[in-house]
Chain A
């Protein structure tokens, strides 16, 4: 018979709210969000390390994510972009496996008149070809533009130092969508709220590994304390260089001039653009004060004009 390891021993004391009338329900809806939950104590920072060199592009992460988070499908459209029919990260796709076919001249030649293809092009071409695969996800930036942007405090850095959108708070202003330099977040057409990878916050709270990392058959997606992951990744890069894998590099494991490190970082074997990642992500907030300043000056100068006019001629 089945193991009972997860069965509740004590009968659950569910905090059932006292039955309330429509008015108090309305009031609760009004006031509820203003009640702050008591912040849990901070835990060691957790994150993802995605080693693209062992990714087989199976998309288990995508399905495992949809299953755990009960997300709807994004529609059945064949993109023709290699085996990538997911297309992009969105409010309903929190994992996205990318496929990059690297062959000499990947674009099909134009049809010729008689169409005959001469033999000499083939078949003695070298096989130095690559089919790169990478499972993309929210980067869980240490200083996350989306979190900085969020006007409602729906987006928080939770106790695991992950970026988490509180679905009961978000009001769908869309600022986080505009702020994300990686194009991770969109607003759900169903709920009107912004959604993205939660790094399985609910699972982590119970000591479980995020669904995608658990499913990944080749350990391309690894989850754990961020420091351990960084160390593991560093060793892996050295190993790859020893094996003569050119261009093995980390992405987002360390802060740059214009961006913090990412709590979901990658091991790539080519330039980030090839994988659709910005070469040098930029945190918009580096501009904010300057922009305020320029605006203030401009405002003052502008107001000075009517003021002068009023003082000189208006009196």
Chain B
């Protein structure tokens, strides 16, 4: 126990020394660009601190440790307040106040848009939600939940029916044979462009059968056996292709993010690359 404590203190000491060195060095670099001392000290600190936080998160890959815990807890506090402030200024002051109170509009210096009695609905529902904190009349908060859920249900029902369901179904109406020009031409061109009829035709078949079997897989009220079982098996295979392909396709984006962070460390902080 005593040994591990010594080691962690040693690491802490090293981190503090490195932090200080980086702070001083970065201050120097900023000053060289003609920045006043005060600002250089500030920005030197900010860059160093951001780098420290970056490395603290990465250290999680090795194992959980106090630096990760520090970064995690700081992140939670700062981010919770961030969204509260943004919500307050953009929604509450931006959208709500101008519709209910001229005095408050003037106080927050936002243009008053005329009194709208309907805006008392969210106000009342919002207050009802806060009543949750009282155990006696906490049940009234369910009214606002009911309002939210009703809104969600109403909007989603139509939206999904219209955009996802009807559009996707009609997109499945595809020609069985694309642009027929005789057998010779059909089998001789196996390319993936407008001239490759075989591939285009095959794509349409794959899409049609794939969607068909995929939907069969999602049948809940029928046992998956016989023809149904076979089709749902094909369905799950099609889904597996989808999942494998999506996964492989995503790797690139994830690596980009790491590139971004390493660029910050190598360029903005250490100045190794330009």
Q: Do A and B bind each other?
A: no
Interface residues of B (CB under 8 A from A): none
